[in-house]
Amino acid sequence: MANRNVLRVIKIGGNIIDHPDKTAFFLEQFAAIPGAKILVHGGGVLATQLAEQLNIPQTLIDGRRITDAETLRIAVMVYAGWVNKSMVAQLYALDCPAIGLCGADGDAIRAEKRPVRDIDYGLVGDVKKINVELFDAWLAKGLAPVVAPITHDGNGQLLNTNADTIAQEIAKSLSKAFKVELIFGFDKAGVLMQEDGVEKVIPQLNKKQFLALKAENVIHGGMIPKLENAFSALESGVNKIIIGNAVSINEMIRGEAGTSIEW
Amino acid sequence: MANRNVLRVIKIGGNIIDHPDKTAFFLEQFAAIPGAKILVHGGGVLATQLAEQLNIPQTLIDGRRITDAETLRIAVMVYAGWVNKSMVAQLYALDCPAIGLCGADGDAIRAEKRPVRDIDYGLVGDVKKINVELFDAWLAKGLAPVVAPITHDGNGQLLNTNADTIAQEIAKSLSKAFKVELIFGFDKAGVLMQEDGVEKVIPQLNKKQFLALKAENVIHGGMIPKLENAFSALESGVNKIIIGNAVSINEMIRGEAGTSIEW
């Protein structure tokens, strides 16, 4: 496996997508990354804004958005339509060949509607299968897939799907063919801790350190499932995971920014 | 060239897309077509409805819609987003592998902004180049490309583009590799003429007959540019053109419905 090529799977969210200037800056950095790369994007506030403009009420249960048919239509329009195609067009202007897709295209990402337990999340998908051959073929042609967080169930239903999960499942599925670096961009510079009253980024974090910092409540809240997912991806063959602010994507790749998660 | 495979390029417009029942019926017929096939779809009234809901004024000059930045955003959301992805998901439910795309994806359709002469149409594209290799590769894998009427200029700008033109340019560009049948679905059963006070479909129409019927004003209005484009496509290597109502797509292919345009 030593001669596997590096593949970088990069996930960006609202802190990039909601700001055209940051998107442009990020895409310049993304275009400059050498070798195989895949971009997975979330949605940001654009979909919420559109729902408000259209007076489509958004239902939140325990802080989680419920995807009804109208909300799904908006998510597909905004994520798989405007956000996805705008970024692909911008990448060509940066000489970065790219192909935009959602999970239905070429059956790239098959999912199933999340089973109803305590909460019915509506038209939300849990990823079942990544079409490795399809991604492989595009990467071999030098195309960067740009993936919108919409999947399908194979029975005609599109499903709203978490972009972090999509990035992780793609990274795991492609780790047989590639040495995969999975990079999560979010609104912080990395996993943070307080040191002498100053907030600083933890440059490296292994499982043992994570468990200790979690026990001390230094790492808490939404960062815990993010990191647990990261360690699970490492177990599934992903080579390296970096968490940080996607505006510093090249520094993160060079190990000069963000938090590297190691086993 | 005798052993070229048949490729069917089928264009559908508002009379199908605006009605979910007709879309479902059409997609069943489309899924059943054997061999290589490409679907090009227009937009229909969905984009206009969304613009109205969002209070985005639509400018018409001489009856032609002007695409400003907001109108383009809506076109991309509706055509390349909702309409495109819904149809791809539905095709998988019909066991028809498909891939949705707009012209930016994989640089499938490069266009340039229409030069301003009498009218500035805004962000409207004239097709410059079809990425034949990309369509070829998908067709070879048994995927049916589903094409939204949005292109790009290679400099980061998405462009609203006429779906008839896209279908025609794809048909022309792929006619070296395939025996191409180009099928235009619209709201009539074919090219019509009055006979003994009854409106009937002209089953076959060659250039000589067209010129005669045009001179007699039997064929007039919007049908004239449609047919002139059809004859121009035949000159450029397209094997056969059929015009009719896309709900009868299989009858059209069998020569039992619509108007076949011949040289």
- Maximum mean pLDDT: which of B52-66, B167-181, B195-209: B167-181
Burial class, B77, CB count within 10 angstroms (exposed 0-12 / middle 13-18 / buried 19+) = buried
Q: What is the mean pLDDT of chain A?
A: 94
From the list B81, B100, B156, the residue facing A105 with the nearest CB is B100
Our count of domains for chain A comes to: 1
Domain carrying residue A123: 5-261
Calpha distance B25→B27 (Å, rounded): 6
More confident residue, A170 or A117: A170
Gap from B13 CA to chain A (nearest CA, Å): 19
B85 within 8 A of B100, measured Cβ to Cβ: yes
Give the model's pLDDT for residue A63. Answer: 72
Segment A216-242 shows an average pLDDT of 92
More confident residue, A32 or A220: A32
Q: What is the mean pLDDT of chain B?
A: 94
User: Which range is least confidently modeled, A213-222, A245-254, B80-89, B167-176?
Assistant: A213-222
Q: Residue A42 is part of a domain; what is its CATH number?
A: 3.40.1160.10
Share of chain B above pLDDT 90, in %: 82
Give the model's pLDDT for residue A195. Answer: 81
For A174-208, what is each residue's pLDDT tens digit?
999 999 999 999 989 999 988 888 999 999 999 99
Those residues with Cβ within 8 angstroms of residue B195's Cβ, 6 or more apart along the chain or in another chain:
none
Segment B85-94 shows an average pLDDT of 98
Whether B44 shows a pLDDT value over 80: the answer reads no
Q: Are B85 and A150 within 8 A, CB to CB?
A: yes
Which residue from A minimizes the CA distance to B158?
A89
Calpha distance A156→B163 (Å, rounded): 24
Calpha distance A207→A210 (Å, rounded): 5
Those residues with Cβ within 8 angstroms of residue B64's Cβ, 6 or more apart along the chain or in another chain:
B119, B121
Give the model's pLDDT for residue A221. Answer: 87
**Alpha helices by DSSP H, B94-218:** 132-140, 163-173, 207-215
Q: Are B85 and A53 within 8 A, CB to CB?
A: no
Those residues with Cβ within 8 angstroms of residue A46's Cβ, 6 or more apart along the chain or in another chain:
A17, A18, A78, A82, A83
Give the model's pLDDT for residue A3. Answer: 64
For A30-87, what is each residue's pLDDT tens digit?
999 999 999 999 887 899 999 999 999 888 887 777 999 999 999 999 999 999 999 9
Q: Are A78 and B77 within 8 A, CB to CB?
A: yes
Segment B113-127 shows an average pLDDT of 92
Residue A194 contacts B where some CB pair is shorter than 8 Å? no
Gap from B237 CA to chain A (nearest CA, Å): 29
Q: Chain A contacts of B86, Cβ < 8 Å?
A: 76, 158
Q: Are B102 and A100 within 8 A, CB to CB?
A: yes
Residue B105 contacts A where some CB pair is shorter than 8 Å? yes
Segment B183-208 shows an average pLDDT of 92
Whether B2 shows a pLDDT value over 60: the answer reads no
Give the model's pLDDT for residue A1. Answer: 46
pLDDT band at B1 (very low <50, low <70, confident <90, very high): very low
| 3-state SS assignment for residue A174 | coil
Residue A131 contacts B where some CB pair is shorter than 8 Å? no
Q: In this structure, what are the phi and psi dihedrals at residue B143, rounded to the nearest 5 degrees? A: -90, 140
Q: In this structure, what are the phi and psi dihedrals at residue A136, rounded to the nearest 5 degrees? A: -55, -45
Gap from B259 CA to chain A (nearest CA, Å): 32
For B4-37, what is each residue's pLDDT tens digit?
899 999 999 988 999 999 999 999 999 999 999 9
Residues within 8 A of A (CB atoms), B 152-181 only:
152, 154-158
ipTM computed for the complex: 0.95
Q: Chain B contacts of A82, Cβ < 8 Å?
A: 73, 76-77, 81
For A89-117, what is each residue's pLDDT tens digit?
999 999 999 999 999 999 999 999 999 98
B202 within 8 A of B193, measured Cβ to Cβ: yes
Residue A128 contacts B where some CB pair is shorter than 8 Å? no
Q: In this structure, what are the phi and psi dihedrals at residue B177, rounded to the nearest 5 degrees? A: -90, -25
Q: Chain B contacts of A156, Cβ < 8 Å?
A: 89-90, 92-93
HEC per residue, A44-73: CCHHHHHHHHCCCCCCEECCEECECHHHHH
Q: What angle do CA B205, B211, B212 make, to 5 degrees?
A: 90
pLDDT band at B3 (very low <50, low <70, confident <90, very high): low
Which residue from A minimizes the CA distance to B70?
A82
